[in-house]
Amino acid sequence: MQVALQHCPRHLFSQYLTNNDTRDTWIWCSTSSGIFSTKSVRLLLQTETTQNWKALWSPYIPLKWSIHLWRMVQNLIPVDVTIQAKGVSLCSMCSCCLNHEEESLQHLFFYSDIANKVWTDLSVFLQFNNNGITNISRSVYSFLTRPEITTSAGRLQRCIFMAVIWEIWCSRNRARFQGKGMSAQHIINRSWLSVQAIWISANFQRIPQIWSEALRQPSKDEVNRDTMAPKVAKWFTPPKGRLKLNVDGAFKMTTNEAGGGGILRDHKGNMSCAFAKPYYHLKSSLAAEAFALRDGLLMCCNKGVTEVQVETDSLNLLQIVTG
């Protein structure tokens, strides 16, 4: 009990009950089973309303889109004006207009020449007005929590909206750091490619004809595109009686910092155990991936787990291990 009092936040400690036997048993009150889950903690801690939270996160929406949009409504996207507000002296010049105005969230994503053309060209599908936006959080949530967003057409609207926000940011970064010009048509084409992939993967039914015709058209930029259409990756549970270990590693070349982690889950997707740790004196991301795999397997061995599937996002590591 003293250990719990030392490490458990007070406002979460009230969620526990213990019995009066010789050995205490923890009962997590926030789940019907009494078993602790990270999802129940997220529901306790999240500050957004359930409706707003569901607007950002969905199984068929790529996680990077959801995280990016969440950062936007929290004003955490590092555009020039946001960086200046942190006390950093910085000359601001947007990459999306000929007159190079100051780069703010509103300007980059909604008011600029590039953004305005993108939203205008997609207005027949989105019914989204990008003019007059002063509060990004309120405007985004208002658009994504409309009643019609639960229909097939509404889901596609949410996909194209989030895809555009993501592609504008990617295009801005290519212009800022690689010297490539921003193109409204390229942003639109890339967004349609992503939505086409989601439409096929999620198998949306009974969509309006205007959407069906647009999604079946080949990309207008297909000859010049330098990347393939994105694919929606799903996490599948392991078979009953076996656990699945997911591991990942990361390496930052500029500072030589590295780290890795992993999570072990059962056939219902429940977490059994996990780890995260820093690594030192590494020289590549592949080394970080390999260390994470090693430590994940060691964790399984220490827990007595022998029936385990392993997943990694490193194709090189997979080929090395299986070869």
Q: What is the mean pLDDT of the chain?
A: 85
Q: Are residues 208 and 271 in the same domain?
A: no
The residue ranking higher by pLDDT, 19 or 196, is 196
What phi and psi, each to the nearest 5 degrees, are found at residue 261? -165, 175
Task: Using a pLDDT cut of 70, give the percent of the chain over it.
Answer: 86
Q: Do 223 and 288 meet the contact criterion of CB atoms below 8 Å apart?
A: no
> Where does the pLDDT of residue 172 fall: very low under 50, low under 70, confident under 90, or very high at 90 and above?
very high
SS3 state of residue 34 = coil
Which of 168, 200, 216 is at the close of a domain?
Answer: 216
Whether 214 shows a pLDDT value over 90: the answer reads no
Question: What's the rounded Cα separation, in Å, for the pair 249 and 246?
Answer: 11
Q: Is 229 part of any domain?
A: no
Q: Are residues 101 and 202 in the same domain?
A: yes
> Where does the pLDDT of residue 232 fall: very low under 50, low under 70, confident under 90, or very high at 90 and above?
low
Q: For 178-202, what is each residue's pLDDT tens digit?
A: 888 899 999 999 999 999 888 888 8
Q: Is 83 part of any domain?
A: yes
SS3 state of residue 60 = coil
Q: Do 191 and 94 meet the contact criterion of CB atoms below 8 Å apart?
A: no
Whether 148 shows a pLDDT value over 90: the answer reads no
Average pLDDT over residues 56-80: 91
Q: Are residues 29 and 103 in the same domain?
A: no
> Range of 287's domain?
243-322
- In terms of DSSP bridges, do strands 257-265 and 243-252 run parallel, antiparallel, or are they unpaired? antiparallel
Q: Do 56 and 66 meet the contact criterion of CB atoms below 8 Å apart?
A: yes
Q: Are residues 148 and 260 in the same domain?
A: no
Here the CATH number for the domain that contains residue 313 is 3.30.420.10
Q: At what angle do helices 184-202 and 113-121 cross, to 10 degrees?
A: 40
Q: Are residues 27 and 100 in the same domain?
A: no
> Where does the pLDDT of residue 228 fall: very low under 50, low under 70, confident under 90, or very high at 90 and above?
very low
Q: Are residues 60 and 39 in the same domain?
A: no
Torsion region of 79: left, alpha or beta (phi above 0 gives left; psi -120 to 50 gives alpha): beta
What is the pLDDT, as a whole number, of residue 91? 87
Q: Is 225 part of any domain?
A: no
Q: Are residues 282 and 264 in the same domain?
A: yes
Q: Is 230 part of any domain?
A: no
Task: Please count the structural domains in the chain.
Answer: 3
> Where does the pLDDT of residue 7 fall: very low under 50, low under 70, confident under 90, or very high at 90 and above?
low
- DSSP alpha helix (H) spans, 150-284: 152-178, 184-202, 209-216
Q: Are residues 32 and 105 in the same domain?
A: no
Q: Are residues 86 and 157 in the same domain?
A: yes
- Taking alpha carbons only, the member of 323, 318, 320 closest to residue 246 is 318
Q: Is 192 part of any domain?
A: yes
Could you tell me the pTM of the whole model?
0.63
Q: Is 297 part of any domain?
A: yes
What is the pLDDT, as a whole number, of residue 11? 63
Question: What's the rounded Cα separation, in Å, for the pair 85 and 286?
Answer: 37
Whether 19 shows a pLDDT value over 60: the answer reads no
For residue 25, give the DSSP letter: -
> In one letter, which amino acid is 159?
C
Q: Are residues 179 and 210 in the same domain?
A: yes
Which of 199, 216, 233 is at the close of a domain?
Answer: 216
What is the pLDDT, as a whole number, of residue 71? 94
Q: Do 58 and 145 meet the contact criterion of CB atoms below 8 Å apart?
A: no
Question: What's the rounded Cα separation, in Å, for the pair 247 and 279?
Answer: 14
Q: Which of 7-16, 122-131, 245-254 has the lowest mean pLDDT?
A: 7-16
Q: Are residues 36 and 68 in the same domain?
A: no
Q: Are residues 289 and 305 in the same domain?
A: yes
Whether 231 shows a pLDDT value over 70: the answer reads no
Q: For 126-147, what is each residue's pLDDT tens digit?
A: 888 888 788 999 999 989 988 8
Q: Is 221 part of any domain?
A: no
What tokens were used for 222?
């297909």
Quote the strand ranges of the chain, DSSP E.
16-17, 27-28, 243-252, 257-265, 271-279, 308-312
